[in-house]
A and B are shown apart, each in its own frame.
Chain A
Amino acid sequence: QVQLQESGPGLVKPSQTLSLTCTVSGGSISSGSYYWSWIRQPAGKGLEWIGRIYTSGSTNYNPSLKSRVTISVDTSKNQFSLKLSSVTAADTAVYYCARVTPGNDYSYYFDYWGQGTLVTVSS
Chain B
Amino acid sequence: SYVLTQPPSVSVAPGQTARITCGGNNIGSKSVHWYQQKPGQAPVLVVYDDSDRPSGIPERFSGSNSGNTATLTISRVEAGDEADYYCQVWDSEVVFGGGTKLTVL
Contacts and interface: CB of A to CB of B under 8 A. Distances in A.
Contact of B42 (A46, A104, A116): A116
Contact of A105 (B30, B35, B54, B94): B30
A75 B56 CA distance: 29
Contacts of A108: 90, 94
Interface residues of B, number: 26
Contacts of B89: 107
B1 A63 contact: yes
Indicate the size class of the contact surface on chain A.
Answer: 20 to 34
B31 A103 contact: yes
Contact of A111 (B1, B29, B54): B54
A96 B42 contact: yes
A39 B33 CA distance: 15
Interface string A26-59: 0000000000010100000011110010000000
Interface string A86-123: 00000000001000010111111111011110000000
Interface in B22-76: 29-31, 33, 35, 41-45, 48-50, 54
23 contacts: A46-B97, A46-B99, A47-B88, A47-B96, A48-B96, A96-B43, A103-B48, A104-B31, A104-B50, A105-B30, A106-B90, A107-B31, A107-B49, A107-B89, A108-B94, A109-B33, A109-B45, A109-B88, A111-B45, A113-B42, A113-B44, A115-B41, A116-B42
Given A101-B48, A110-B35, A111-B45, 12 more contacts: A47-B88, A48-B96, A63-B93, A103-B49, A104-B50, A105-B29, A105-B30, A107-B31, A109-B45, A111-B54, A113-B42, A113-B44
Interface of B: 1, 29-31, 33, 35, 41-45, 48-50, 54, 86, 88-90, 93-99
